Amino acid sequence: MPYSYEKDGAAIYKESFSTIRSEADLDRFAPEEEQVVVRMIHAAGLVGLERDVKVSPGMVAAARAALDKGAPIFCDAYMVSEGVTRKRLPADNDVICTLRDPSVPDLAADMGTTRSAAALELWRPRLEGALVAIGNAPTALFHLLEMLEDPDCPRPAAIIGCPVGFVGARESKDALWEAQPVPSLIVEGRLGGSAITVAAINAIASRAE
């Protein structure tokens, strides 16, 4: 038996974003922030997520300017890096996840931390002016903050900090928001994850919905 449902992809997106904008409370966001938050809500399928999203002033502009200049995007997990829509990137930007680098297991053991955190040490040579996206591991976000406490550590242009989970996720995002080493975006509390993080990257990379 044939089912009746919308089959036009563009129409589905249009109706989805229209529904989000009619139901979500987006008044506190600047126009460029609203576009990013709408994409994040769409990825989560959760109107109400906007209540937990915090965007520091100028974050979207800083991230977009960095990508326009060709800056790389550093991701803590392959679920994040693989979700980035390459055709939306303005300068064929490199999307980098170092989690599978052969040196990471030994580095993590030496540092006494998770592989997700240790893998960030490999970002240092290209971290200056980059966009950082943490969508999975709170330990990665905590270690990034530890790295940035060193005045000699290269500074990224902006950070998307949306790790998910029950241990350390809330605390790591609170720490990022309090420290504000660079312009940042977070989802408060336990919510977060790869899909939400990827949605933020893709929305920042291109204004097209």
- Flag whether pLDDT at 34 surpasses 80: yes
Average pLDDT over all residues of the chain: 96
Judge whether 169 lies within some domain. Answer: yes
CATH code: domain of residue 80: 3.40.50.10230
**Lookup result for tokens 């990508």:** 67
Judge whether 34 lies within some domain. Answer: no
Helix (H) or strand (E) holding 187, with range, is strand 184-187
Catalytic positions, written as ranges: 42
Look at the chain and report how many structural domains it folds into: 1
Residue range of the domain that includes 110: 52-205
Q: Is 156 exposed, middle or buried (CB count within 10 Å of its CB: 0-12, 13-18, 19+)? A: buried
pLDDT tens per residue, range 54-70: 999 999 999 999 999 99
The token pair that represents 9 in the structure block: 């992809």
pLDDT tens per residue, range 7-30: 888 899 899 999 999 999 999 999
Residue 6's pLDDT is what?
87
Q: Identity (one letter) of the amino acid at 116?
A: S
pLDDT tens per residue, range 77-123: 999 999 999 999 999 999 999 999 999 999 999 999 999 999 999 99
Judge whether 30 lies within some domain. Answer: no
Judge whether 139 lies within some domain. Answer: yes
Residue 207's pLDDT is what?
83
- Among residues 72, 63, 66, 35, which one has the least CA distance to residue 183? 63
pTM attached to this predicted model:
0.95
What distance, in Å, lies between the first and last C-alpha atoms of the chain? 33
